[in-house]
Structure 1
């Protein structure tokens, strides 16, 4: 019960990695708000669904007010919500660029803008930004996505400094997953998945629960002396 009585917000919590994190956090004793534009298709004790578009600044402020007033504290924030609109740089339209920036980067800022200072006043907390191996190394056809995932690393490092002022034990870290077998990858042809697996030192793709376990470490007191760090969970992948 490493998160016993802790209050956690997980964005993008309806499916995939977000759902795995929400369910593992609840199993470890947390009260979880799984925020997403989609409805939760699972039912787990101590998890409540919350409709949220992270790109909407007003909705993010309302979620913050709801969580802080209902529970009286917020211990963990996982900024996981994200989208892709892939294309070679010269083919990325304004809409493709703006949508990815709004959700993946602005959306991370929108919620943490309220939660971070609240944790600072509270005296403690853990902020986890979900980045990507693409944010660390770049990738052809993903200039918009790579820019946002590199950006959330910069935000985590900044917040590690900013929210720990005046002695507050607020930590901010990022997780950079490699290729993880979520529903999106399940639509990719098997030969291409095999090629992805060959890029890793472990010779396989990752599972959502492996990212959830990394998030559990950073959310819990087990990582009490870890902040401003990027935890790469990619099987040794290099793009």
Structure 2
């Protein structure tokens, strides 16, 4: 399998490109608009055909490349069914599968960071990895104080949904701020300081006391991402 983890240093965002083989079909998860040229070059060099571009949720810290990839490569754009982004081609439900040339992603509804966040499990019949967006980070978790976020729903998504995956399942988040690139479900169960050994009430208190600054890109990024990263005046395509 072809697997590439790409990083945007401005927003500390991870983007993931997956394909089963050279010359085959590919998908990309959480692409960043400013990195479009890098993605297009990599796709050409690997000789793959991008058929799906996926966002785990409506990001507040960067503008998505979903619309640009759709327009340049005619790929399908995918988000969870609760997104308010009307430009998305396909809205997936909890438990739905995305199949691409031997690769399967299982959609897992994991609200808490936002009310429409989804995670995606690689090969869900025998999980190999999970792309958690912002709900579960490496030794942390996504803030829960805007876009319908809720600390108790975050706890439920992490403990009762993601932590039900096998312990060796690799965790690939949408962000990291400390130089870590991957973790595992077992590691986060044991070592995540917000969750390990904590109760739901304790977690809720931790999340309510973070006192994080307002995201500097939020007022720009969220409206742009509701149009798949394109100006609001741009006609919306559904394919």
**What band does the TM-score fall into relative to the shorter chain?**
0.3 to 0.5
Greater helix content: 1
Greater strand content: 2
TM-score (norm: length of structure 2) = 0.38
TM-score (norm: length of structure 1) = 0.38
